[in-house]
Amino acid sequence: MQWIVMLALPLALVLVLVPLVVQGYIIKEDESFLQLPHYTSQEQLEDLFARLEKAYPDQARVHSLGRSLEGRNILALQISQSTRQRALLTPPVKYIANMHGDETVGRQLLVYMAQYLLGNYERSLEVGQLVNTTDIYLVPTMNPDGYALSQEGNCESLPNYVGRGNAAGVDLNRDFPDRLEQQHLNHLRSAARQPETAALAEWIVSKPFVLSANFHGGAVVVSYPYDNSLAHNDCCEESLTPDDRVFKQLAHTYSDNHPIMRRGNNCNDSFAGGITNGANWYELSGGMQDFNYAFTNCFELTIELSCCKFPAASSLPAEWARNKRPLMQLLKQAHIGIKGLVQDASGYPIADATIVVSGLEDKPIRTSKRGEYWRLLTPGIYSVYAAAFGYQSSAPQELHVTNENAEALRVDFKLSPVETNYDGNFRKQKVERAEPPEQLKEKYDGFLTPTKFEHHNFVAMESFLRNMSMSYPSLTRLYSIGKSVENRDLWVLEISTAPGVHVPGVPEFKYVANMHGNEVVGKEMLLLLTKYLLERYGNDERVTHLVNGTRMHFLYSMNPDGYEKSQEGDRTGGLGRANAHNVDLNRNFPDQYGTDKFNKVTEPEVAAVMNWTLSIPFVLSANLHGGSLVANYPFDDNENDFNDPYSRLRDASISGRKLNPTEDNELFRHLALVYSRAHRTMHLGKPCALFQNELFADGITNGAQWYSVTGGMQDWNYVRAGCMELTIEMGCDKFPMAKELPQYWQDNREPLLQLIEQVHHGVHGFVRSSISTPVAGAAVALDGGNQTIYSGTFGDYFKLTLPGRHNVTVLADGYAPIRFEVEVPAVEPFGVRQDVTVMRDDPQHWASANDFRIIENVVNTRYHTNAEIRSRLAEFENQNGQIVSFGYADNEFSRHFNYLKLTSNIGEPEEHKYKLLVVSSLYDTIAPLGREIMLNLVRHLIEGHKLQDVSVVPLLERSVIYFLPQTEKFADVFSMYNANNTVCDPVLPDELAERILSPEAESSKDLLLQFVRSEHFDLMLTFSAGSSELSYPKGDSILERFAHSIQRTEFNYSPLQCSTSATRQLHRESTERVTSLFYKLYKIPMFTLGLSCCRMPAHQQIASVWRTNIEKIKNFLALVQTGISGLVQNEKGQPLREAFVRLLEHENTIYNVTRNEARFQLMLPKGLYGLEVSAPNYESQVIKTQVQHGILSDLGSIRLHGFTLIRGEITELNGHHQSGTQSTTSITGVVLDEGNHPIRNAKISVIHPAGLTHLRNFTNSLGQYYLRAVPVGAITLKVEAPRHFEVTRDLRLPQAGQPTENVVFHLKFNAHVFGLPRFLFIIVASVLIIVSVVICVLCAQFWFYRRHRGKMPYYNFSLLPQKGKEQFDLDEDAGDDGETELFRSPIKRGMTIQPYFDEEQLEHILHTDDEEDGELVMDMAPQEELDVADDSGDEIVMLHNHNNRRKH
């Protein structure tokens, strides 16, 4: 019957209106509300809606959806045929506006819409039919607080986007649950959701809305879902819903009826047909239109109405005229597709049934409580079925949807239950434990199962953790962060509801135990805590809430090797404390104050923990130790503790040392007190037996005040990783007996839990861009502090803080800084969510605020060629000749290195000015980027001088700045970049830094070093890449404080997380060596600033590099603004040019005065200093002075008094010779060649006064020398070295006991040899060698000829001559002549063999043998003659030899 009534009403209305038209009457629509156009205030809006409800009691009804943050009503006006009871299958539709408070056109259009629909309900057939068939809800303002802050006439948002967000500054269109976030995360965030968002979300879910529109301003376009994507691109990639065709039809319905929007070219934007996919335009997360589609049945559009966000009220009638028709036509789209009822067999409605359309299964539609459904569809043929839990799914029906007459096709479904013949109470089954959990907790010390208290070695611990991980796979993840020295795993168990991933918005917490292998209580407590948390999850509200909202990581044993060596019952010993390398791991971390032998080489366990800590955004941490009972907080050491070994001793006789608090000292004290006060005895502060003087008030202490720990883990966590960490000493005994563990558990269980809960205290939220893209690496600082934390990959941040009002500063690269105030409650939940929307920074706006509006520095940046660099530098000189001087080809140095000199009043004496050197880079591959930054800096200083900036003018008055843009190998590097601009780090061999360190001579290097040596620079700045670190000479406390002041910027950008590579590591090491070289040899502190990860980033990224580093560079230059200066004179006011100044508390820090005025000027950080001013033959004077930041204090003229000489007679006492003591001092220095390479074994001697020749020494392998007992006064030193010209130098030694240091000699190489030039000497020597060789050869031939000339003419050959028998190991077979046979003949010994002899020769031979053998003949038995022929056929005659030896 209801549908009959519904059809009858429009028909009756038609019958009433038609006669009026037939009779000639034309009913004009009522638009009187357009008279006197103005914006309706909140009070006027409430009054208007009340009057409409009263005037149209059946068709209008006002609903209050909730209140804004400041308590203003959020109203919805319902307009329908009957607002008391919605007719069945009447689709609910909603229009919402003013979500951004300063986008107001939609707000006023909905006010007009309400008056138009109600005022013309009986006048217009179209309006009447629409109201009768549609349940319309109008919400003119979702953000009344933001509207109240906005200003009419502002087409763009106010500064800091005041008015866009709500009263808390939150963008409500980024605050809704997001479809891509995990369900439990959306649940967690609901507690921090803004009241406006919560009210709208609850209302949207409570009603079965079919269609919706959200009205905005700032553009003219219709946007449809999705607004974000899995890829999270900034823009330009569509993210389409399954119902993309429907959404495009809805969007075109509005756009095509809008006379301006349909053209698609408005507000400097271009949209085809005036519509766009939200993600394709720009991405945002947490938007309302995606929430509607993903979480409900509602199809919502976002409609941008005007280019101007808050136009003048006079434009409102024109806006109404343009948008009235689109508004009406969009409402009609709620009646397309199909609709119907889903009922059971008895005709009762089935709520929450699912309507599934084939091809659109990813978006099922669910029925209302009354069994209704509406499914928007474009024309076509569809297969549809219904399904519901407990019912059989309906058979698919093929439907032909035409959408004719804007009427949905009605299709009803009846479903049959699945169960028909089952009896029993099976749906009411309930599982109960045999014993209530509370009784189990009491029975087992808080555990639900029996728990054994025992110590676990590595194998037992590993087994325990694997068992826990397998038993609770949905809550845990067991992983190793590395290996110990002895290859044991460093196991970590993660406990969270989403193990393995960082959940955005969920803080990370860690416990680290057993850092000292023999301190075992922490390890056992963590094992027990793990079992406690996992067993009680789901049975304990507190534990469940903690696990659901926190991601916990427990490292049970950081030193498993040491644990294996330790022994149970060792209460105070040190066995097993260190790792397998015998290194204390809590002295091995990098320290902010220095490096020593304990942390010079990083141990594998420490490296693993550092990498782990930096890979996860930990918020809070604790390091569990033993040996005392106290909660210890940073800092653990003072800046001078590396030079004071006594400060590192835990001495029972010392009750306290120097306190060194962090800027978060109060927060650290609070965290320590949380643990201490929750502990049964720690808060009492009772000392351990061995350390009776250790009294800790409230059981807490500052680490440095207790005893110094250099290289400690808790300081590294705070300084480097941004993680707040405490060191908890859990008891006086390091390795107690296992039977004592239950008591330790009772004492520490509650403190361990309470400390984890502290991770939720403070400010947290998300940093997103204006298009809702997460902004990673955004720096978040509190109350102007320098300690910043950084947003994670998903933009989430957590900043622990105490309750109260705090100023929060957020800075991200490429975005405008934002500051806001937030109040952290002092009651549960002790934390506040503050999402931050940062807007893309306009380069011109940034330049105006930070760079004197030098647009060239930030717009269209690029690399300049060498010729362009020279042209720019010459242009600077031509246009600013009074402060700029360009050196190009003026001398040999400027031909290799073009330089720019910048100072006020070029040409005036510079004795009173500091000298600064800025080098583009000492690496040819980084120099192109360094040159652009240097060029920007020169522009900055010149423009600042023109504008008489208060920071630039004093800088140039007090200093001379040299700029050296390296040009030598630019062409090679730039060609590599042009060939492939994706190469991050171009590589070249033999870079400048490597040439400086090389002993080989090289022209450009030698010229640079000569320039540096001759100019006597006070400071030097150069640039590098691969990190954002600042390198400087280590070991000097003044330079370390300079480095801290350089890095201390108003906005601390996130440190660059650059990957490591071999070349980057090589550059880092080379930089340290060059830094040391310049400081030790030339006394020039060199600071090297890392600009970016890449040596040559893309052209357009140069602007970003400049913006992120300009403040650090300005801080470097500002060092000249703080210090002291003065003149040293005698009593008559004459300058003492040999005077010097020494800082009393800083060893080896001596400054000579200038050569003319005897002026000294010292750059010093703020503080109290003692100066000793001295000069030869004058009494020293000690001055105490306070240096204030930003002030160069002039001490005026310091006058020294000369020594008074006492005259008298000297009497020699008889028999005794008093040996007078002569005033002496010492001299140290180094001897170098022209290339600054050390010369070893050089002789240094005193040649004047006479009689001191015994004062001499020789240089070592480093070229260093040391002369003792040198008399004060004028002396002359002489330096001699092989192959070098000798050098002499006159010195005046100041006074006894005052050593003269760093006297450097440079020796020229002596190329002469024996008085001849080297080339001539080589020629002469070569000729002599050749002549000698020829003479030797001739002599040898003559000697061989004489040696082998024989008396017997019958020898045509001879055997090899031998010096002796030893060479061939001759035996007695060898003859006396020293000859032997190399190849033994088978002929018997004693026979003479000749190939052939005639008879005369034979007789002659026999006769000769008889004569020669003479007296040596021995009688022998006669032997037979043998005739033997050889293989050749020659006849061989064998003769008897009458003796065994032959003699020549």
Say which DSSP state 391 is in: B
CB atoms within 10 A of CB 494: 21
User: How far is it, in rounded angstroms, from Cα 135 to Cα 94?
Assistant: 8
Q: In angstroms, how far is the first alpha carbon of the chain from the final one? A: 156
User: How far is it, in rounded angstroms, from Cα 1282 to Cα 686?
Assistant: 71
User: In the numeric block, which tokens belong to residue 1135?
Assistant: 């300058």
User: How far is it, in rounded angstroms, from Cα 612 to Cα 474?
Assistant: 22
User: In the numeric block, which tokens belong to residue 753?
Assistant: 């839990």
Backbone angles phi, psi at 1275, to 5 degrees: -135, 165
Helix (H) or strand (E) holding 1197: strand 1192-1199
Active site residue 729: yes
**Which residue do the tokens 């009871």 mark?**
85
User: How far is it, in rounded angstroms, from Cα 1014 to Cα 999?
Assistant: 20
CB atoms within 10 A of CB 1412: 12
User: How far is it, in rounded angstroms, from Cα 1147 to Cα 1054?
Assistant: 36
Query: What is the side-by-side strand order in the sheet with 1435-1439?
Result: 1392-1394, 1435-1439, 1427-1429
Residues whose CB is less than 8 angstroms from the CB of residue 510 and which lie 6 or more positions away in sequence, other chains included: 552, 553, 554, 555, 613, 616, 618, 621, 723
User: How far is it, in rounded angstroms, from Cα 319 to Cα 328?
Assistant: 14
Say which DSSP state 56 is in: -
User: How far is it, in rounded angstroms, from Cα 15 to Cα 1080?
Assistant: 105
Alpha helix (H) residue ranges in 375-519: 437-443, 458-471
- Give the residue among 385, 396, 387, 389 at the shortest CA–CA distance from 419: 389
User: How far is it, in rounded angstroms, from Cα 1125 to Cα 754?
Assistant: 55
**3-state secondary structure (DSSP) of residue 1370:** coil
User: How far is it, in rounded angstroms, from Cα 697 to Cα 705?
Assistant: 12
CB 1394 within 8 A of CB 1405: no
CA angle 1440, 1444, 1448 (to 5 degrees): 95
- Give the residue among 5, 27, 29, 28 at the shortest CA–CA distance from 18: 27
- Residue 1185, beta-bridge partner list: 1169
- Residue 95, beta-bridge partner list: 138, 213
**Three-state SS sequence of 1280-1348:** ECCCECCEEEEEEECCCCCCEEEEEEEECECCCECCECHHHHHHHHHHHHHHHHHHHHHHHHHHHHHHH
User: Considering 519, 535, 729, 1111, which one is annotated as catalytic?
Assistant: 729
CB 777 within 8 A of CB 793: no
**Three-state SS sequence of 913-956:** CEEEEEECCCCCCCHHHHHHHHHHHHHHHHHHHHCCCCCHHHHH
User: Considering 304, 462, 494, 991, which one is annotated as catalytic?
Assistant: 304
CB 986 within 8 A of CB 978: no
Backbone angles phi, psi at 214, to 5 degrees: -120, 115
Backbone angles phi, psi at 354, to 5 degrees: -110, 130
Would you name the residues annotated as active-site residues? 304, 729
